[in-house]
């Protein structure tokens, strides 16, 4: 199966997944492993062009892959990409990534203090 390769970024992956139809496509592919565009069109009740565009976005981010058999194209999830997105989001939430550390450092050195976070109000 082919993906588009090295276009993955966390922001792009999250943006691709932020669209409800794409999340539905991901759920369908998760349940059925591989589906062709026609099956997704039937399941979603959307025009073929719209489904193809959603798949193109997911494929560009490396979230789905395509396998061609003659005139048929079957789409499936790329588990490593989905796991990569999940792990990065978990790292951000735990404060265990470079972005989080930079933001925390910036807040700690900020001259703007919020009363709720000042040391005087902590017990």
Dump pLDDT digits (tens) for 3-58. Answer: 445 566 888 999 999 999 999 999 999 999 999 999 999 999 999 999 999 999 99
Q: How confident is the model at residue 122 (pLDDT cuts 50, 70, 90)?
A: very low
Q: How confident is the model at residue 75 (pLDDT cuts 50, 70, 90)?
A: very high
More confident: 89 or 4: 89
pTM above 0.85, yes or no: no
Whether 107 shows a pLDDT value over 90: the answer reads no
Tokens of 50: 């719209």
CA–CA dist 99, 83 (Å, integer): 19
- Contact present, 37 and 52 (Cβ < 8 Å): yes
Tokens of 18: 């932020």
What per-residue confidence (pLDDT) applies to 110? 67
List, in order of start, the domains of the chain with CATH numbers. Answer: 10-78 (1.10.10.10), 82-114 (no CATH)
What per-residue confidence (pLDDT) applies to 37? 95
Starting at the earlier edge strand, list the strands of the sheet with 64-69: 34-36, 72-77, 64-69
CA–CA dist 18, 15 (Å, integer): 5
């Amino acid at each position: 199966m082919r993906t588009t390769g090295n276009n993955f970024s966390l922001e792009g992956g999250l943006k691709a997944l932020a669209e409800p139809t794409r999340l539905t496509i991901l759920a369908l592919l998760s349940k059925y492993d591989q589906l062709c565009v026609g099956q997704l069109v039937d399941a979603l009740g959307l025009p073929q062009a719209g489904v193809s565009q959603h798949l193109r976005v997911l494929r560009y981010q490396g979230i789905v892959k395509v396998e061609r058999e003659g005139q048929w194209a079957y789409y499936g999830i790329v588990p490593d990409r989905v796991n990569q997105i999940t792990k990065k989001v978990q790292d951000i939430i735990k404060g265990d990534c470079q972005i989080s550390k930079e933001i925390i450092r910036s807040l700690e050195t900020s001259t703007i203090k919020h009363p709720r976070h000042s040391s005087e109000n902590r017990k």
